[in-house]
Chain A
Amino acid sequence: MDWIYNFPDMSRSDLRDFKKSVDFAFTNFSRTYGEAIESFFEPLLMFLVWFEKFFINTPWPLIVFGILLLAWVGSRSVVVVLGTFISFMLIGYFGMWEDTMSTLAIILVATFLCISIGIPLGIAMARSNKIQAFVVPILDIMQTIPSFVYLIPVVMLLGIGKVPGLIAVCIYAIPPIVRLTNLGIRLVDKDVLEAADSFGANYWQKLFGVQIPLALPTIFAGVNQTIMMALAMVVIASMIGVKGLGLPVLQAISNQYLALGLMNGLAIVILAIIFDRVTQKFGLRMQKYRNEGKD
């Protein structure tokens, strides 16, 4: 009756061999293909580095002006623009300008990547139940697996640096945009699609003329969530060599620097709030036609 009290598990040596062989196989894989994969991501790295340098090297008043302009275009709200202005002045005054610019660069590149992969993937999912059934579990894994777990293979493959950090951020941040694009398109009123069909619209005319425009508010909620999650990942990404606001936070944790941690943490929060308000207001404006009542 021993097996009732002790789970009939693998013997220790078998387990050790099993783990060893997995590790060995992956090490081999990364030795063989690591360089190829690294060179595959080379353009991405160059883009990211260029982008970061652009942010850091441009005179700060220009950057502030540009950000305020974007905030205005996005939100059309004086309060949001004013809040953005004050926030960035404070960030600069407390000496976090450069880190903030680095973070801004990686967030923007990550968001851009997530959108350009996530939206087409979401569209494909909305079109086919098979693709949806295949992708949803993968998204579930991406959202629930502890980020440290996928940091291991990423670092083994690409080492420490910006690109692995970017990939880690993207793995964490891409699920909402994919899910919400899929959802938004699937939720488009069947009657309206039928009308488009009855007038002889083809697949692409329906997609770009009816489905995406009507799904846009939902898709935009996805973009908003993706940005938020990318920001949340900044600290963890700094563990594998991403510069920016996350790094001081990491130092603060290991050295118990309360002020340093708070300052940088709050800077991340401020960025998140600004991104959120601007994109949300923009999303609301896109669905203006829904909010106007009957006359």
Chain B
Amino acid sequence: MDSKNILIKVNQLYKIFGKGDKSALDLVKKGMGKDELLEKSNCVLGLNNINLNINRGKIQVVMGLSGSGKSTLIRHLNRLIEPTSGEILFNDTNILNLTPKELIQFRQNNMSMVFQKFALFPHKTVLQNVGYGLAIQNISKDEWYEKAQRWIKRVGLDGYETYYPGQLSGGMQQRVGLARALATDAEILLMDEAFSALDPLIRSEMQNILLDLQSELHKTIIFITHDLDEALKIGDKIAILRDGSMVQDSDPQEIIMNPADEYVSDFIKDINRARVIQAKSIMTPTEAKSSGATVKEDMVLEEILQIMSDSPSKPVTIENSKGKITGRIEMVNLIEGMKRPKSLGTNITG
């Protein structure tokens, strides 16, 4: 990816919570781990040398278990948390050098956020909540009313303008949260486990709303989650954090096919591989046409299996979105692809 497409660049970001964080930083840089640091200096290692490039107009997922530092990381991007050391470049401006006034401007215009627990203003109506980001910019009431109204409609809540958040269900509340974040027209959307508090059906519905909006708006979204299925569904790129360190940051297919370590393997071991692995990840590259049917390279294995089951001996031809042949898949490749890699420590017995 060339550097023009990179909107946010996080360089060597460290965050240590607690007193004496500067001296603790030296210890961390020398390689001290989270547990040892806590024991030795009573400081908590939040982020450990994070380097991350976030592409313009894409959805960057940050994944990890609770306590892995993902919420800490996202809060550095709009400086709700100040780092101990490092830099965060947004269009070549270091966000960490912004004065308090510039920071407020930056938050108003460039970045908005959706929260896990919705964090709506309970004393404001849906309309006032959605318009909040605009109202505090001293935009005229007519203007923000109109904009807020439009976003309320866009997330499917028209008719609820005068309701208070307490009167809405969780899913509806998060739609308000989403509309509130979108209403400022900020190009970056930070979503901190935005759908984690919702039940599975509503969550899936919200994911679809988000993807639908994204296909039209092309925002740069940083999406935090601990749910791999969610990450695979919406992420253009997935970064995995563990104990404050970045373990892997790559294309979703790459994560499934080549997990960087045991931790990532653990993460992906329960997913339905047939439903997420795409043809391009397992095909044998060739430009020659094979004897079987022709399928697109982003088709998942499950569907290819359906096609191949009619004539198992004929390999299928794989083509890219432009119709050019890029590879071939045989039945044995399919079986190989669906099998978990050896390193995953399969616990199949008998």
Question: Which positions in A face B, CB cutoff 8 Å?
Answer: 189, 191-192, 194-202, 205, 209-210, 213-214, 289-290, 292-295
Contacts of B133 in A (CB 8 A): 199-200
Beta-carbon contact of A294 and B168 below 8 Å:
yes
- The complex places the Cα of A295 from the Cα of B132 at a distance, in Å, of 24
Q: Are A214 and B112 CB-contacts (below 8 A) given A199-B133, A289-B166?
A: no
A-B contact pairs, 30 of them (CB 8 A): A191-B119, A194-B80, A194-B115, A195-B115, A195-B121, A198-B80, A198-B107, A198-B111, A198-B112, A199-B112, A199-B136, A199-B180, A200-B103, A200-B104, A200-B107, A200-B108, A200-B109, A200-B137, A202-B136, A205-B136, A214-B123, A290-B166, A292-B164, A292-B166, A292-B167, A293-B167, A294-B167, A294-B168, A294-B169, A295-B167
- The complex places the Cα of A202 from the Cα of B133 at a distance, in Å, of 12
Decide if B56 is an interface residue (CB 8 Å cutoff).
Answer: no
- The complex places the Cα of A292 from the Cα of B164 at a distance, in Å, of 9
- Chain B residue at minimal CB-CB distance from A289: B164
Interface flags, B167-184, vs A, CB<8A=1, else 0: 111000000000010001
- The complex places the Cα of A294 from the Cα of B80 at a distance, in Å, of 31
Decide if B317 is an interface residue (CB 8 Å cutoff).
Answer: no
- The complex places the Cα of A87 from the Cα of B162 at a distance, in Å, of 40
- Chain A residue at minimal CB-CB distance from B110: A200
Given contacts A191-B115, A196-B132, A289-B123, 5 further A-B contacts (CB under 8 A): A189-B119, A198-B80, A199-B136, A200-B105, A200-B137
Beta-carbon contact of A194 and B136 below 8 Å:
no
Contacts of B80 in A (CB 8 A): 194, 197-198
Partner of A192, one of B113, B119, B167, B169: B119
- The complex places the Cα of A290 from the Cα of B136 at a distance, in Å, of 24
Contacts of A192 in B (CB 8 A): 119-122
- Chain B residue at minimal CB-CB distance from A195: B119
Q: Are A199 and B168 CB-contacts (below 8 A) given A191-B115, A290-B122?
A: no
Decide if B145 is an interface residue (CB 8 Å cutoff).
Answer: no
Contacts of A205 in B (CB 8 A): 136
- Chain A residue at minimal CB-CB distance from B103: A200
- The complex places the Cα of A294 from the Cα of B168 at a distance, in Å, of 6
Beta-carbon contact of A199 and B184 below 8 Å:
yes
- The complex places the Cα of A138 from the Cα of B107 at a distance, in Å, of 40
A103 to chain B, nearest CB (A): 35
Contacts of B106 in A (CB 8 A): 200
- The complex places the Cα of A195 from the Cα of B169 at a distance, in Å, of 19
Beta-carbon contact of A199 and B108 below 8 Å:
yes
B71 to chain A, nearest CB (A): 11
Decide if B78 is an interface residue (CB 8 Å cutoff).
Answer: yes
Question: Which positions in B face A, CB cutoff 8 Å?
Answer: 78, 80, 103-109, 111-113, 115, 117, 119-123, 132-133, 136-137, 164, 166-169, 180, 184, 190
- Chain A residue at minimal CB-CB distance from B135: A209
A194 to chain B, nearest CB (A): 6
The 3 closest A-B pairs by CB, nearest first: A200-B107, A200-B108, A195-B119
Contacts of A294 in B (CB 8 A): 166-169
Beta-carbon contact of B136 and A210 below 8 Å:
no
Contacts of B123 in A (CB 8 A): 213-214, 289
B220 to chain A, nearest CB (A): 16
Contacts of B168 in A (CB 8 A): 294
Contacts of B164 in A (CB 8 A): 289, 292
- The complex places the Cα of A294 from the Cα of B122 at a distance, in Å, of 13
- The complex places the Cα of A213 from the Cα of B104 at a distance, in Å, of 22
Partner of B136, one of A189, A209, A213: A209
- Chain A residue at minimal CB-CB distance from B169: A294
B87 to chain A, nearest CB (A): 20
- Chain A residue at minimal CB-CB distance from B111: A198
A144 to chain B, nearest CB (A): 35
Contacts of A293 in B (CB 8 A): 166-167
Contacts of A200 in B (CB 8 A): 103-109, 133, 136-137
- The complex places the Cα of A192 from the Cα of B113 at a distance, in Å, of 12
Contacts of A198 in B (CB 8 A): 78, 80, 107, 111-113, 190
B90 to chain A, nearest CB (A): 15
- The complex places the Cα of A292 from the Cα of B125 at a distance, in Å, of 13
Q: Output the residue of B122, B167, B169, B184 with the most chain A CB within 10 A.
A: B122
Q: Output the residue of A200, A213, A290, A293 with the most chain B CB within 10 A.
A: A200
B67 to chain A, nearest CB (A): 18
Contacts of B103 in A (CB 8 A): 200
- Chain B residue at minimal CB-CB distance from A209: B136
- The complex places the Cα of A289 from the Cα of B133 at a distance, in Å, of 21
A45 to chain B, nearest CB (A): 40
Q: Are A214 and B113 CB-contacts (below 8 A) given A199-B108, A292-B164?
A: no
- Chain A residue at minimal CB-CB distance from B79: A197
Contacts of A292 in B (CB 8 A): 164, 166-167
Q: Output the residue of B103, B108, B184 with the most chain A CB within 10 A.
A: B108
Beta-carbon contact of B166 and A191 below 8 Å:
no
Contacts of B105 in A (CB 8 A): 200
- Chain B residue at minimal CB-CB distance from A202: B104
- Chain B residue at minimal CB-CB distance from A201: B136
- The complex places the Cα of A191 from the Cα of B103 at a distance, in Å, of 19
B82 to chain A, nearest CB (A): 13
Contacts of B117 in A (CB 8 A): 191
- The complex places the Cα of A290 from the Cα of B104 at a distance, in Å, of 30
A208 to chain B, nearest CB (A): 11
- The complex places the Cα of A289 from the Cα of B165 at a distance, in Å, of 8
